Amino acid sequence: MRIRLLSLTLAIIGIIPLHAQTLNIAMTGDIMMGTTFPSIMLPANEGRDLFRDAKEVLVNADLTVGNLEGAICDGGRSTKGVGPNSYAFRTPTSYGHLLKEAGFDFLSMANNHANDFGLEGIESTERVLNEQGILYSGIAGRVESAVIERKGLKIGLCAFGHNSYTLKHTDLNTVGRIVDDLVNSCDLVIVSFHGGAEGRTKSHLPNGPETFLGENRGSLRQLAHFCIDHGADVVYGHGPHVVRAMEVYKDRFIAYSLGNFCTPYNVSLTGISGYAPVVEININADGSFIDGKIHSFLQTRGVGPRQDATGSVAREIRNLSANDIPQSQAFIDAQGNILLK
């Protein structure tokens, strides 16, 4: 915050130029481009068509962020069990370039699949992302946060999850420390979280904590508001495998779950589980929300997100937002535009 005020003061007296007036951000949910475990399940054409329909929005944004669900590696031993609720995702390292070509600048690793192939998988994933120039964070004891510059603005990014090996979003002391550090050193701060109970019955955002398979999946309204109260400017979530409500709180944007985005195999895509939005927002240089747009895409097995001409995804988020957060400073119109009230 001090840097923001200093920059503004210096700009006013003409010592440095003013920053760009606005920033355009594109956000997605879970990404797992295909897996070689427990059997080979990979898309056609080596995955080159996965992001075809969504690429224009993703590439043209000033900043594009999402959640990387699983390890990018070619070997290793699965850390998961063999039960019906146990899944391990291993995407080939040769697919790494697809993420860069799709426009991604930052990916969260703070989720329940980043450790599917242990330290070997984590190190391989980090190596692939480094090679592609994609920033990341979220694993405890490794990369806590990342900083990128866009349009003269220094942007801090961080990610939190519910697993023991992640930076845990239930540990508000750690969340507060990392967010505070970024707020004090950056112009804008973006927070990602992986949380919430999973499944088609979990699209409504509850009040209070959520549990799933015996795990504490967080009190997500509290978490998001906590981050904004500490100075974060954008908060986006994922984890339930369905979309959830969106909110503007204290002039800052929050997406509580962006659902599945590009998960062509071993993830249910039936009904609302196949909803795959790209949410595009515009914010001022001080982080305040201007407006946004929900771009509707649908997934089918083995294909990736494809344009939804009916706008069903935007309608679902519109209804959830109106029902679950009527006090939001924004509303979503029939075309999926996110507008201030």
C-alpha–C-alpha distance, residues 164 and 9, integer Å: 43
Task: Return the structure tokens found at 113.
Answer: 């699949």
340: three-class secondary structure by DSSP = strand
pTM, entire model: 0.93
Q: Check if the beta carbon of residue 194 is closer than 8 Å to that of residue 217.
A: no
Instruction: Identify the pLDDT of residue 44.
Output: 97
Instruction: Identify the pLDDT of residue 16.
Output: 44
Q: Check if the beta carbon of residue 200 is closer than 8 Å to that of residue 272.
A: yes
Task: Return the structure tokens found at 184.
Answer: 């004090």
From 244, 32, 65, 229, select the one nearest 158 (Cα to Cα): 65
Instruction: Identify the pLDDT of residue 214.
Output: 86
| pLDDT tens over the chain, length 341 residues | 444 544 444 444 444 445 578 999 999 999 999 999 999 999 999 999 999 999 999 999 999 999 999 999 999 999 987 766 678 999 999 999 999 999 999 999 999 999 999 999 999 999 999 999 999 999 999 999 999 999 999 999 999 999 999 999 999 999 999 999 999 999 999 999 999 999 999 999 999 999 998 889 999 999 999 999 999 999 999 999 999 999 999 999 999 999 999 999 999 999 999 999 999 999 999 999 999 999 999 999 999 999 999 999 999 999 999 999 999 999 999 999 999 99
From 307, 253, 317, 256, select the one nearest 281 (Cα to Cα): 253
From 295, 329, 340, select the one nearest 315 (Cα to Cα): 295
Instruction: Identify the pLDDT of residue 84.
Output: 63
Instruction: Identify the pLDDT of residue 85.
Output: 66
